[in-house]
């Protein structure tokens, strides 16, 4: 029923416009006019209480009066009348409602929005909107919107949360030459959301690539799942990536989790490409909608200009597809089509002497060569060459090569003649840009998408232990005591229940007990105050390290007790933890937050100054796969330190990745109980020597 309703919204065969108007300038007039002008071949039924005829079409006083079936209704009556119209549509058997009307949750009227969703669902109808421009489809010539015309036809479909942007993109599609099959305004997403539409577009034969303008999600996990399931490229432009509004948090991790970093993680896990800005969204959409992905790492750049070649080389490194010299045999063949002073390495510089024939021969050879995984062709307009002819030579070489599953992007730098040639190339299926770095960025997107898809469906680690049972008992006891956080000892017990390697820590309630425990864990030891009211133990003078003997233990016990009494006299003291003094290792931090949009989310970074000052941390939505854990270790700026910088031995990344997987599984399983956690520091030893969690903190969800 649901799928069917979305089909009715995007591909209706019959459509009613409730609030149709014969008055030019009204939205109800524009929608009818647009449906007629776009030459929609299905039935169009204007609905208005007054008129008999609107723009030459028979008008109906209500939807129920329409004689034939009505699949979708566009609603353009003021908000207060919308509930009445929905009942009318429901009784008629309409399947999908395209609600253009504003005046719902976006202005604070959440109750009215909830009411219309409930009402629509009671009739089995789905809602697109409210507060939208409408929806436009080239293949069925459906302009059910107040955007003035259908976009330039193409293979991409775009979903946008901003209606104004849809109208602008509609116009830009012609000036930029980037074509669209569908433009869908999603507005308040009261019912149909990004996930529903991505799932539908996955099965749409006219859509080869899905582009998104996103301000936020209601349910981020549905989005991730929908993107993972489609093999079509999804490109997201996310607005609102500033750190403004990061949640006030009790844990260290909480304060580092700006929404932007969590969105970064989510897009990565969804296998979704990012666009940096609106232009980049167009550029990447063009490439992804027209070209196959780049399956290997060898990109070859052909050019007639040294300057654009260098710019392309810089861009290649910047966008993660650095150039490598072509093998000898490739160079030898290419050398045949350039003067002695040209270069056949990579970029291949045929020099300004390159004409149609050299372009034709080098493109044909390189594109078909097995070493080349992606080809970027650059051209600078010259006095001796005609851009249109160069474009035709390149296109001919590509078509005649017989190669199908290899991408090519092009850049023409020049004036009007080059612009015309570029347009021709795009119309003939080759993404072409007016700057070399844009052509390289487009190729990088084709490579990045291939890499993202390689790991997107790797299975997430799932805990096999009965850690949950142990953890929930500890949490229940803390809640019974009226506490919102676990003590360090309790937090470590929870970690240990999930097989996380904690530094052995036990609670002593007397000097003698502390001495006995210290002997058990072996000297040197660390001693720390355990009190629910003292979260920052060092600030309270509640931590002593490197205690070497019994006398030291007794001395530390007394001092810590006195210090903490002075710090907070009313603090309830559980005792003093005696912990093995973990040997030095690379300091890292692992933590988690329960994000409002994506739920439990794990963080990793290097400790000390890296986390405090540089905020060099990365996130993933839990649970995570081994490959995602490995990616996290590699993508922080301080990654070289883990690989063994400055003569140090490489760190045990395998053990660290394993800990990250287990940690993510833990916070995922306990998401109904846990708000935030920190494991800080987590010491990482040399390869093969493992990891140790030295301190632990668990903040509970308030219930
Ligand atoms: N059934 C059918 N038609 C009805 C009706 C009903 N229950 N109630 C009213 N109408 C008719 C009106 O008679 C009018 O037709 P007319 O021009 O022949 O008189 C038409 O519907 C529109 O109603 P009106 O009261 O004139 O409203 P409007 O055209 O000024 O505004 C909206 C209606 C929906 C456009 C307006 O409320 C709105 O939401 N505007 C913002 C839309 C927007 O920008 N959305 C996208 C954001 S990105």
The CA-atom distances, in angstroms, between 581 and each of 505, 523, 527, 564, 578 are 10, 8, 9, 21, 9
Residue reference for tokens 């072509």: 326
Least confident of 213-227, 537-551, 598-612: 598-612
Give me the pLDDT at residue 246, please. 43
CB of 282 closer than 8 Å to CB of 209: no
Least confident of 120-124, 258-262, 266-270: 258-262
Q: DSSP code of 67?
A: S
The percent of residues above 90 in pLDDT, for the chain, comes to: 86
C-alpha–C-alpha distance, residues 458 and 454, integer Å:
8
Give this prediction's pTM. 0.92
Q: Taking the CA atoms of 679, 251, 465 and 497 in sequence, report the sign of the dihedral they define.
A: positive
| Alpha carbon nearest to ligand 1 atom 20, residue | 19
Give me the pLDDT at residue 247, please. 47
Q: Above 80 in pLDDT, residue 251? A: no
Give me the pLDDT at residue 102, please. 96
CA angle 382, 385, 388 (to 5 degrees): 110
Q: Above 60 in pLDDT, residue 1? A: no
Element (H, E) at 74: strand 72-75
What SS3 class is residue 222? helix
Q: What is the pLDDT of residues 608-649, one digit of tens each?
A: 777 777 788 999 999 999 999 999 999 999 999 999 877 889
The percent of residues above 70 in pLDDT, for the chain, comes to: 97
The sheet with strand 134-137 has its strands ordered as 142-145, 134-137, 180-185, 153-160, 209-214, 234-238, 273-274
Our mutation pick for probing the ligand 1 site, out of 30, 78, 104, counting the most ligand atoms within 8 A of Cβ, is 78
CB of 146 closer than 8 Å to CB of 121: no
CB of 588 closer than 8 Å to CB of 424: no
C-alpha–C-alpha distance, residues 654 and 633, integer Å:
10
Q: Above 70 in pLDDT, residue 243? A: no
Give me the pLDDT at residue 250, please. 55
Of the candidates 157, 105, 108, the residue with the CA atom closest to the CA atom of residue 131: 105
| Alpha carbon nearest to ligand 1 atom 46, residue | 132
Task: Output the CA 73–ligand 1 centroid distance in Å.
Answer: 14
Q: What is the pLDDT of residues 342-364, one digit of tens each?
A: 899 999 999 988 889 999 999 99
Q: Is 27 in the pocket of ligand 1 (CB under 6 A)?
A: yes
Our mutation pick for probing the ligand 1 site, out of 17, 23, 28, counting the most ligand atoms within 8 A of Cβ, is 28
A 10 A CB-CB count for 469 gives 9
CB of 487 closer than 8 Å to CB of 573: no
Give me the pLDDT at residue 252, please. 61
What atom in ligand 1 is closest to the CA of residue 85? 7
Q: Above 60 in pLDDT, residue 142? A: yes
Cross-strand pairs, 386: none
Give me the pLDDT at residue 248, please. 46
């Amino acid at each position: 029923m649901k799928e069917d309703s979305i089909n009715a919204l995007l591909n209706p065969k019959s459509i009613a416009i409730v609030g149709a108007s014969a008055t030019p300038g009204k939205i109800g007039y524009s929608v009818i006019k647009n449906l007629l002008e776009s030459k929609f071949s299905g039935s169009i039924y204007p609905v208005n209480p007054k008129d008999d005829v609107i723009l030459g079409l028979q008008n109906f006083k209500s939807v129920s009066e329409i004689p034939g079936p009505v699949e979708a209704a566009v609603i353009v009556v003021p908000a207060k009348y919308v509930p009445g119209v929905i009942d009318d549509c429901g009784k008629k058997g309409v399947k999908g409602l395209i609600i253009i009307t504003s005046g719902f949750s976006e202005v604070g009227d959440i109750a009215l929005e909830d009411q219309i969703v409930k009402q629509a669902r009671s009739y089995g109808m789905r809602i697109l909107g409210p507060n939208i421009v409408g929806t436009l489809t080239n293949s069925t010539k459906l302009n059910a919107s107040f955007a003035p015309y259908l976009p330039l036809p193409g293979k991409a479909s775009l979903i946008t949360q901003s209606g104004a942007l849809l109208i602008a993109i509609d116009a830009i599609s012609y000036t930029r030459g980037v074509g669209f099959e569908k433009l869908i305004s999603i507005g308040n997403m009261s019912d149909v959301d990004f996930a529903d539409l991505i799932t539908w577009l996955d099965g749409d034969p006219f859509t080869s690539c899905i582009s998104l303008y996103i301000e936020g999600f209601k349910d981020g996990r549905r989005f991730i799942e929908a993107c993972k399931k489609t093999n079509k490229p999804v490109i997201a432009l996310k607005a609102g990536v500033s750190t403004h509004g990061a949640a006030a948090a009790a844990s260290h991790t909480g304060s580092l989790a700006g929404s932007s970093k969590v969105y970064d993680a989510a897009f990565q896990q969804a296998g979704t490409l990012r666009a940096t800005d609106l232009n980049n969204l167009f550029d990447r959409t063009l490439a992804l909608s027209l070209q196959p992905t780049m399956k290997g790492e060898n990109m070859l750049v052909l050019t007639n200009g040294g300057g654009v070649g260098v710019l392309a080389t810089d861009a290649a490194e910047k966008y993660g597809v650095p150039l490598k010299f072509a093998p000898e045999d490739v160079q030898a063949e290419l050398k045949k089509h350039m003067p002695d002073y040209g270069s056949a390495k990579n970029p291949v510089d045929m020099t300004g002497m390159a004409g149609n024939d050299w372009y034709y021969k080098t493109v044909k050879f390189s594109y078909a060569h097995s070493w080349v995984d992606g080809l970027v062709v650059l051209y600078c307009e010259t006095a001796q060459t005609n851009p249109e002819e160069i474009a035709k030579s390149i296109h001919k070489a590509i078509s005649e090569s017989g190669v199908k599953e290899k991408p090519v992007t092009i850049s023409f730098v020049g004036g009007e003649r080059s612009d015309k040639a570029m347009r021709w190339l795009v119309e003939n299926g080759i993404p072409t840009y007016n700057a070399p770095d844009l052509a390289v960025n487009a190729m990088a997107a084709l490579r990045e998408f291939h890499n993202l898809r390689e790991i997107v469906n790797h299975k997430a680690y799932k805990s096999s232990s009965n850690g949950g049972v142990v953890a929930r008992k500890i949490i229940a006891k803390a809640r019974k005591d009226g506490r919102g956080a676990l003590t360090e000892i309790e937090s470590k017990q929870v970690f240990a229940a999930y097989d996380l390697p904690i530094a052995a820590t036990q609670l002593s309630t007397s000097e003698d007990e502390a001495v006995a425990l210290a002997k058990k864990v072996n000297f040197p030891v660390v001693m720390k105050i355990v009190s629910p009211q003292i979260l920052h133990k060092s600030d309270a003078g509640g931590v002593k390290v490197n205690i070497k003997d019994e006398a030291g233990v007794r001395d530390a016990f007394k001092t810590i007790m006195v210090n903490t009494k002075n710090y907070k006299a009313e603090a309830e003291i559980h005792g003093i933890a005696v912990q093995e003094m973990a040997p030095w290792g690379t300091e890292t931090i692992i933590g988690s937050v329960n994000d409002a949009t994506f739920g439990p989310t794990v963080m990793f970074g290097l400790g000390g100054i890296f986390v405090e000052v540089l905020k060099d941390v990365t996130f993933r939505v839990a649970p995570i796969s081994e490959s995602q854990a490995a990616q996290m270790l590699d993508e922080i700026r301080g990654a070289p330190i883990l690989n063994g910088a400055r003569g140090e031995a490489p760190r045990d990344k395998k053990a660290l990745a394993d800990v990250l997987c287990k940690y993510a599984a833990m916070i995922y399983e306990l998401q109904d109980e846990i708000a935030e956690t920190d494991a800080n520091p987590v010491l990482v030893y040399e390869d093969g020597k493992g990891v140790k969690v030295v301190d632990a903190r668990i903040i509970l969800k308030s219930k």
